[in-house]
Amino acid sequence: GFNYRAVTAWVAGSVFGVLTVTTSLYVGPLANIAGGVDLSFIGSAVVGGVIYLLLRAVFPEQSLIAAAAQD
């Protein structure tokens, strides 16, 4: 199966990375938010990580819910 929380976070981070990339071949539409500094690598990791943590909080894994209910 797929971990839909992880896939969603990965897609969101990837989209942020493409939007903020600054290279000689392509400049994303949001590349100027940091004054020309390429934020795509660290920004996509932060966005993906935060979204994954939020999705885990809102939609916890069912096995963890079942284990907590048994205790």
What is the domain range of residue 43? 4-60
Quick check: is 24 in a domain? yes
Decide: pTM greater than 0.85: no
Quick check: is 65 in a domain? no
pLDDT tier, 71 (very low <50, low <70, confident <90, very high otherwise): low
pLDDT score, position 61 = 84
What does the pLDDT look like over 3-52, one tens digit per residue?
999 999 999 999 999 999 999 999 999 988 888 789 899 999 999 999 99
Residue 37 falls in which region: left (phi positive, over 0), alpha (psi -120 to 50) or beta: beta
Q: How many domains does the chain have?
A: 1
d(CA 39, CA 60): 30
Range with the largest mean pLDDT of 35-39, 56-60, 64-68? 56-60
d(CA 27, CA 19): 8
20 and 31 in contact (C-beta within 8 Å)?
A: yes
